[in-house]
């Protein structure tokens, strides 16, 4: 994944962003509360047609959600796209997305969690840098939305090189060294589910980012083992471990830290854990598909800008 991807044009005050719900129905009250934040950034917004829809556990049918995604990329008045929330369902239409159209209309695309499926596919088939960051209903509209999470949206308004060090959160080096490569990945469950399909991320030489929520340690162990057996872990140049939140009924008989130790102590490539990236506050938003430098000895992650 060393090839250079297209960086979308930066946002400007007065621009309109499109709001989509590619997966599950977002919390409507929290979505409504998040709109003031967009306005505080100087942005106008347009709501996708399917955002208020419900079809079982999905925000409308696959056709409706896909039409919203296509429509926002095709609309020349829309300068960026921000996801209302995640959940489940984005992968259901990966094989029907018009990737050449997206490549011809590069613009900011922002979300995480189930949106990882779209990040991996758009990075690979539209050659477009996308953004792993907090979403409107899932994060922005909640009372505990963190000021640092809010500041991370600033990277959309101009080229900013990001640096993550222990001033943001304590970090742990599991395997030393330095590595350079394109940042790839996101939610571990979605990465693992993509294996064996043409939508699995390109990990050759990549810095792999992983995070997840409400998965017990034994399931995280199982997913990492699947990545190992598939050969994916052997192809990366380094690993940045984001936030892993325990299920509410976790009894404490096992820990994520023990799982990570068993896979990555003595890994032979740099591995650092503790990044506040994922289902957490603050949520340090990052561009996916840009070059990153992971220095496990200094405990730093530097990432090149995501916009032009």
Active site residues: 113, 211, 279
Rounded Cα gap, residues 240 and 174, in angstroms: 10
Residue 66: both structure tokens together: 């896909």
Residue of 140, 118, 145 lying closest to 131 (CA atoms): 118
Q: Buried b / exposed e across 8-28, counting CB within 10 Å, b at 16+? A: bebbeeebebbbbbbbbbbbe
Rounded Cα gap, residues 162 and 159, in angstroms: 10
Rounded Cα gap, residues 266 and 207, in angstroms: 17
Rounded Cα gap, residues 84 and 22, in angstroms: 8
Q: Is 178 helix (H, G, I), strand (E, B) or coil?
A: strand
Rounded (5°) CA angle 287-99-68: 85
SS3 content of the chain, % helix, strand, coil (to 5): 35, 25, 45
Q: Which residues pair with 185 in a beta bridge?
A: 209
Rounded (5°) CA angle 145-131-188: 85
End-to-end Cα separation, the chain, in angstroms:
20
Rounded Cα gap, residues 170 and 186, in angstroms: 20
How many CB atoms neighbour CB 84 within 10 A?
A: 29
CB-CB contact of 164 with 300 (8 Å):
yes
């Amino acid at each position: 994944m060393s090839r250079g991807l297209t960086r979308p044009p930066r946002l400007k005050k007065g621009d309109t962003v499109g709001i989509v719900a590619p997966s599950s129905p977002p919390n409507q009250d929290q979505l409504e509360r998040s709109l003031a934040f967009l306005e505080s950034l100087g942005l106008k917004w347009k709501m996708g047609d399917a955002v208020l829809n419900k079809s079982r556990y999905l925000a409308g049918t696959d056709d409706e959600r896909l039409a919203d995604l296509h429509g926002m990329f095709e609309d020349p008045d829309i300068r960026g796209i921000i996801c209302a929330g995640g959940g489940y369902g984005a992968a259901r239409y990966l094989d029907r997305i018009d990737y050449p159209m997206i490549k011809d209309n590069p613009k900011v695309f922002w979300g995480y969690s189930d949106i990882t499926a779209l990040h991996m596919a758009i990075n690979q088939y539209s050659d477009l840098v996308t953004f792993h960051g907090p979403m409107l209903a899932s994060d922005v509209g909640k009372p505990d939305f963190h000021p640092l999470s809010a500041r991370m949206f600033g990277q959309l308004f101009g080229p900013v090189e990001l640096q993550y060090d222990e001033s943001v959160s304590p970090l742990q080096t599991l395997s030393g060294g330095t590595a350079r490569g394109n940042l790839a990945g996101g939610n571990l469950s979605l990465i693992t589910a993509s294996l064996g399909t043409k939508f699995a991320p390109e990990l050759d030489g990549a810095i792999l980012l992983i995070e997840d929520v409400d998965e017990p340690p034994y399931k995280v162990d199982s997913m990492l083992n699947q990545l190992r057996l598939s050969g994916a872990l052997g192809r990366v140049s380094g690993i940045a471990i984001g936030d892993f939140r325990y299920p509410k009924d976790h009894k404490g008989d096992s820990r994520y830290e023990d799982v990570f130790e068993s896979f990555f102590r003595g890994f032979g490539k740099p591995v650092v854990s503790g990044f506040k990236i994922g289902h957490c506050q603050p949520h340090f938003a990052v561009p996916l598909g840009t070059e990153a430098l992971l220095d496990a000895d200094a405990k730093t992650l530097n990432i090149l800008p995501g916009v032009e």
